């Protein structure tokens, strides 16, 4: 199947999944169910392209790495979020948009579907080419592994910290959180740069770099660090001091 056909097929699959998820959100009155689906959506996108392109070699490795990352993230977010009501971000949107049930199809589910399709460009286009650049592929797996470790360990450390009632209102500044305020977001970015390198090894064109670039910008400047810290500074005493001594994204020794 050609590259264009794979892109159209994935667009249709993502669109259908997002519409179905939107309908479920109307029944539950909870738009935040879109968040746990984020990782799984990339798994579906990656395997749709892989099956359509009859992948092997580095293309198959790419699909497997995406599956490991995506399912771990979805399970983590599902355990953390489901059953606790709608996230405060979506509650704020409900107040801002009078017809949120309808507009959420565009501003929440449609937008996330579009971003998913863009970020997943390396996954979608790698199966359309036949490449065997082993050095790039191996480097990508290494970067992916570092990213997954940061993301998984950071999430586990935060979950353990929150589970202790004695830490209520306190700031986590130990473990990976001593070196970066967002090890999970940094790890997420590394995962996508690693996947892009693996995609290059499988033969994807270089301009698919737009995928990890968009993901990094989202994590660093839009829905990740910036949005979260805006609320943390108000809810956590001592967080401003933590900000002054700790890197926002890339790990480094604290000041």
- Please report, in tens digits, the pLDDT of each residue of the chain (255 residues total): 788 899 999 999 999 999 999 999 999 999 999 999 999 999 999 999 999 888 778 889 999 999 999 999 999 999 888 777 888 788 888 888 888 989 999 999 999 999 999 999 999 998 777 777 889 999 999 999 999 999 999 999 999 998 989 888 788 889 999 999 999 999 999 999 999 999 999 989 999 999 999 999 999 888 766 666 666 656 666 777 888 889 989 999 988
Region for 78 from its dihedrals, namely left if φ exceeds 0, alpha if ψ lies in -120 to 50, beta otherwise = alpha
Say if CB 90 and CB 32 are below 8 A apart: yes
Sign, CA torsion 108/113/210/78: positive
User: In the prediction, which pLDDT does 242 show?
Assistant: 84
In 131-238, which ranges are continuous DSSP H helix? 134-163, 183-202, 210-217, 225-235
**How far is residue 224 CA from its own chain's centroid?**
10
Q: Which of 173, 181, 66, 169 is nearest to 123 (CA)?
A: 66
Q: Quick one: 89 exposed, middle or buried, by C-beta within 10 A (0-12, 13-18, 19+)? A: middle
User: What is the distance between the alpha carbons of residues 211 and 40, in angstroms, rounded to a whole number?
Assistant: 17
Q: Which of 148, 144, 152 is nearest to 195 (CA)?
A: 144
Q: Cα–Cα distances in Å, from 37 out to 16, 31, 34, 116, 191?
A: 13, 11, 5, 11, 17
Say if CB 70 and CB 42 are below 8 A apart: yes
User: In the prediction, which pLDDT does 8 show?
Assistant: 95
């Amino acid at each position: 199947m050609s590259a264009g056909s794979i892109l159209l097929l994935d667009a249709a699959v993502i669109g259908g999944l997002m519409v179905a998820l939107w309908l479920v959100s109307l029944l539950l009155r909870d738009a935040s169910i879109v968040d746990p689906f984020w990782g799984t959506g990339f798994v579906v996108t990656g395997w749709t392209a892989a099956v359509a392109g009859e992948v092997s070699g580095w293309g198959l490795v790419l699909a497997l790495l995406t599956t490991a990352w995506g399912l771990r993230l979805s399970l983590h977010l599902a355990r953390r979020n489901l059953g606790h009501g709608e996230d405060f971000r979506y509650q704020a949107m409900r107040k801002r948009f009078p017809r949120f049930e309808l507009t959420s199809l565009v501003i929440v589910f449609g937008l996330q579907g579009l971003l998913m399709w863009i970020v997943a460009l390396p996954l979608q286009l790698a199966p359309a080419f036949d490449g065997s650049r082993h050095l790039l592929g191996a480097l990508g797996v290494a970067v992916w592994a570092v990213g997954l470790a940061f993301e998984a360990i950071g999430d586990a450390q935060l979950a353990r910290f929150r589970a202790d009632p004695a830490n209520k209102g306190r700031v986590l500044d130990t473990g990976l959180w001593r070196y970066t305020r967002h090890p999970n977001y940094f790890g997420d970015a590394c995962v996508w740069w690693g996947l892009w390198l693996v995609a290059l090894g499988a033969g994807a064109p270089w301009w698919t770099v737009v995928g990890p670039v968009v993901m990094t910008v989202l994590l660093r400047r839009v829905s990740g660090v910036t949005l979260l810290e805006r609320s943390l500074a108000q809810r956590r005493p001592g967080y401003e001091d933590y900000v002054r001594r700790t890197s926002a994204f890339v790990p480094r020794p604290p000041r």
